[in-house]
């Protein structure tokens, strides 16, 4: 059954203006984040003399290794959200779906961050590659048979060629999507929708290949002796659920503030189902990777987890590792199991806000122990980067939404289907 009382209340000309209360929260979070980053840097400088060289990334000062790790985490996290927002839209076009049309302005807005995310990543890697990746040091490679064996792949010229191909491809597809989105919005010409469907098919194939290579290059090679055949899909699962959480949080927040009049409880419910389902998927991939490495017990694989779960090696990472596992699995499993609770916008915001941080911790656990080793950890600097990053991303998204002609689509061919979208829980 439909919800006619929701359909008749749609305001097709609604525009977005950042409410004062949200403006205040974004400002406060940004200020707190910057203060915490400053405090973290002071602490890192103060205790720099207490640190001893580590086996990984030991060519740089401890404070620089920790700062570099934070910058890489931030760049990958927010670039991942932007490119996976584009992937969210591409999957919708490829599947010929119609339910998401009323919420599409949110992932479209996140996808517009892609050029900034690319610039951030290139700046971080281009200026700090010698700190982030020990395989970039010839004197280290010359004494290490494993790195010598991998040098045909892990070398700077080939690394940057792959980097340029990946981000160049993403930007080309991004430009195609943006142009056709704008043309479809303004003219309603069905040809632009068919262009989007063709673009979606090509992008999904390119994304599958490029994301795998990007995961190996930008993240897994921070620990170049380690390898996992499941890491690319694990990294996808982590940032995919992150993207779904941010989309869900934003849609619920906008709805509570009186925007997105065309979005009904069934749209909210479907977003909750996505968050619930892919939280279980993330757990499955996490378990599959960990269990296979643990069972095989091959030293070339097990050391990566050993550095993260053994208190006598790096005690500061052990509680974070288990906290991440518990909150990323049990919290959404128990908190979103009920069909009716997936329609509770306030509770969805609570769940997704927690998951945004805990999946950021997942990226943190990949990068920080490998780059900073025992001189790294979860402290003021790390929390500051998360808060400053999420508030900065929020400011950008708000400004882009304010520039949009309307919050709701005007000419999408599946607009009627999305408007009447309905799901009644049993």
Domain range for 335: 16-407
Examine residue 289 and state whether it is found in any structural domain, yes or no.
yes
Three-class secondary structure of residue 238 per DSSP: helix
In tens digits, the chain (426 residues) has pLDDT values of 344 444 447 888 888 899 999 999 999 999 999 999 999 999 988 876 554 444 444 567 889 999 999 999 999 999 999 999 999 999 999 999 989 999 999 999 999 999 999 999 999 999 999 999 999 999 999 999 999 999 999 999 999 999 999 999 999 999 999 999 999 988 989 999 999 999 999 999 999 999 999 999 999 999 999 989 999 999 999 999 999 999 999 999 999 999 998 899 999 999 999 999 999 999 999 999 999 999 888 888 899 999 999 888 889 999 999 999 999 999 999 999 888 899 999 999 999 999 999 999 999 999 999 999 889 999 999 999 999 999 999 999 999 999 988 888 888 898 888 888 887 665
CA distance linking residue 291 with residue 285, whole number of Å: 10
Separation between Cα atoms, residue 139 and residue 286, nearest integer Å: 35
**CB neighbours (10 Å) of residue 303?**
16
If one counts every other C-beta atom within 10 angstroms of the C-beta of residue 314, the result is: 23
Residue 11 within any structural domain of the chain: no
Residue 78 lies in a domain: yes
Cβ neighbour number for residue 288 with a 10 Å cutoff: 13
Q: Please check whether residue 135 lies inside any domain of the structure.
A: yes
User: How many CB atoms within 10 Å of residue 299?
Assistant: 8
Letter string b/e over residues 19-39, b meaning 16 or more CB atoms within 10 A of that residue's CB: eeeeeeebeebbeebbebbee
Sign for the CA dihedral angle at 341, 343, 344, 345 comes to: positive
Question: Per 3-state DSSP, what percentage of the chain is helix, strand, and coil (rounded to 5)?
Answer: 75, 0, 25
Q: Is residue 95 part of a domain?
A: yes
Is residue 420 assigned to a domain? Answer: no
Within a domain: residue 205? yes
366 lies in a domain?
yes
- Using CA atoms, how far apart are residues 33 and 39, in angstroms rounded to an integer? 10
Q: Structurally, how many domains does the chain consist of?
A: 1
Q: Do you know the residue count of the chain?
A: 426
- Supply 107's token pair: 């992932």
């Amino acid at each position: 059954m439909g919800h006619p009382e929701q359909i008749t209340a749609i305001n097709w000309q609604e525009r977005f203006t950042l409410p004062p209360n949200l403006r205040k929260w974004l400002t406060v979070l940004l200020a707190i984040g910057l203060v915490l980053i400053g405090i973290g840097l002071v602490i890192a400088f103060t205790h720099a003399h207490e640190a001893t060289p580590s086996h990984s990334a030991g060519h740089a000062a401890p404070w620089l290794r920790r700062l570099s790790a934070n910058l890489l985490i931030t760049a990958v996290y927010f670039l991942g959200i932007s490119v996976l927002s584009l992937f969210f839209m591409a999957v919708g076009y490829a599947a010929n779906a119609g339910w998401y049309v009323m919420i599409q302005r949110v992932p479209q807005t996140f996808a517009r961050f892609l050029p900034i995310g690319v610039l951030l990543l290139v700046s971080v890697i281009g200026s700090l590659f010698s700190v982030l990746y020990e395989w970039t040091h010839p004197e280290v490679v010359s004494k290490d048979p494993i790195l010598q064996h991998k040098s045909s792949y892990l070398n700077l010229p080939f690394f940057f060629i792959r980097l340029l191909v990946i981000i160049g491809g993403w930007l080309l597809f991004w430009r195609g999507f943006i142009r056709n989105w704008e043309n479809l919005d303004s003219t309603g010409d069905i040809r632009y929708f068919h262009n989007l469907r063709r673009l979606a098919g090509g992008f999904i194939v390119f994304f599958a290949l490029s994301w795998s290579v990007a995961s190996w290059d930008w993240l897994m090679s921070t620990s170049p002796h380690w390898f996992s055949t499941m890491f690319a899909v694990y990294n996808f699962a982590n940032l995919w659920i992150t993207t779904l959480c941010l989309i869900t949080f934003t849609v619920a927040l906008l709805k509570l503030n009186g925007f997105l009049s065309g979005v009904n409880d069934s749209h909210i419910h479907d977003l909750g189902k996505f968050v619930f389902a892919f939280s279980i998927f993330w757990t499955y991939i996490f378990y599959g990777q960990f269990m296979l490495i643990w069972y095989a017990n091959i030293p070339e694989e097990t050391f990566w987890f050993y550095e993260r779960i053994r208190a006598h090696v790096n005690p500061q990472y052990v509680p974070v590792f288990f906290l991440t596992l518990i909150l990323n699995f049990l919290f959404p499993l128990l908190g979103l199991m009920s069909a009716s609770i997936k329609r509770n916008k306030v509770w969805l915001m609570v769940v997704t806000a927690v998951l945004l941080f805990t999946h950021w911790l997942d990226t943190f656990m990949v990068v920080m122990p490998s780059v900073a080793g025992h001189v790294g950890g979860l402290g003021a600097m790390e929390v500051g980067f998360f808060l400053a990053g999420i508030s900065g991303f929020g400011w950008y998204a708000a400004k882009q939404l304010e520039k949009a002609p309307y919050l709701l689509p005007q000419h999408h061919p599946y607009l009627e289907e999305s408007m009447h979208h309905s799901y009644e829980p049993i």
